[in-house]
Amino acid sequence: MKRIFLPVFVCFAFICNLYGNDTLRLVFMGDIMQHSPQINAAKMPDGTYNYDSCFSFVASEIEYADFRVANLEFTLAGAPYSGYPRFSAPDAIAETLKKAGIDLLSTVNNHSCDRGSKGIVRTLDVLDQLGIYRVGTYRNIAEKTFLYPQIVDMKGIRIAFLAYTYGTNGLPIGYPNIVNLIDTAEIVNDIKLAEKYDPDMIICLMHWGLEYQLKQNSEQTALAQFMISRGVNIIIGSHPHVVQPMETQTDSMGNIKSAVVYSLGNAVSNQNYEHTDIGATAHIAIVKNDTATKIIDCKYSLILRHRPAENGKTKFYIIPANKFYDNRHLFTATEYAALRKTLENTQKRLKAGNRNFDEKTY
């Protein structure tokens, strides 16, 4: 029997005012990375690690939701810790993600095999111990049979989560571990399997596309339409490390039939390529009545990575765009001007490229 999720902390007063008690609110974040400077920044004088400050500004951005999802783009393989190209981060980052409210992590991406079988298995061990649900990599076929698709049941709405990656940077997938690779035949089989659990929505987390490209490529577009035509309702993309367009498809009455986010970009990283310091969170609301389950709202909000120097080391913060202008004192004049320019350019680009996916207002 599949494990079923139960709802987590909800700010009921705010939610009732926003949509109503019967609305299921989902928030999706992009790539959570752990380069060496991030690991060094989290190291405390006593040798322990603490990442709480990184998520201190963004907590209010996601805490209202019923369920929160992100992409874990590193392993928890234990010491020695390292960043690119073979990631292994301290367990403390997973502990902080739990405290920040993340409920489910996609563990399937091109860095899933960075530390071999130990990295895959120990990552799952840590997340399981913390009670963070995960999708995309498995210890063995027996575990995958038991846990995949990942079924979430909240507020009378049942969701099936699927997840895939384009590859593992050429690293082998050690037996008996399982890493879900993008394969259209497998995706069709998995959708059929998901449908046996009578889901109201099927959500697919895709690690795909080309790094640093500001627009999805033809392969992403074709694959998205392929999945939607076979029953997937929501697709959330990662890997490009920059924000790519978002779109919904509607019926003749204007009802949302499907939603696609080609890439949410980075939630946090140490990447220095252009546009990698701006990411997005996707906010999707779902309701169910006696006749149908519907997506009633699709919005996004932008987040910025801030890397100030504090006590002789670089620190990392995720700052929601709606808090950026009110916290100008946190930035040097040069930093503020550069981030503001990138933020405004991203807002203009998404406004022009998105289809029925608007920026969230506060």
pLDDT at 291: 84
CB 143 within 8 A of CB 180: no
CB 90 within 8 A of CB 146: no
Q: What is the tally of structural domains in the chain? A: 1
CB 246 within 8 A of CB 354: yes
pLDDT at 249: 93
Domain of 326 in residue numbering reads as: 4-359
pLDDT at 20: 58
pLDDT at 15: 38
CB 202 within 8 A of CB 159: yes
pTM of the model: 0.93
CATH of the domain at 132: 3.60.21.10
CB count in 10 Å sphere of residue 361: 7
Mean pLDDT by 10 residues, the chain (362 residues): 37 41 93 97 96 92 94 98 97 97 97 98 98 98 98 96 98 97 98 97 98 98 98 98 96 92 98 95 94 94 93 91 90 92 95 93 74
CB 142 within 8 A of CB 170: no
pLDDT at 290: 84
CB 27 within 8 A of CB 65: yes
* Closest-CA residue to 234 (of 192, 207, 203): 203
pLDDT at 253: 86
CB 56 within 8 A of CB 103: no
pLDDT at 22: 86
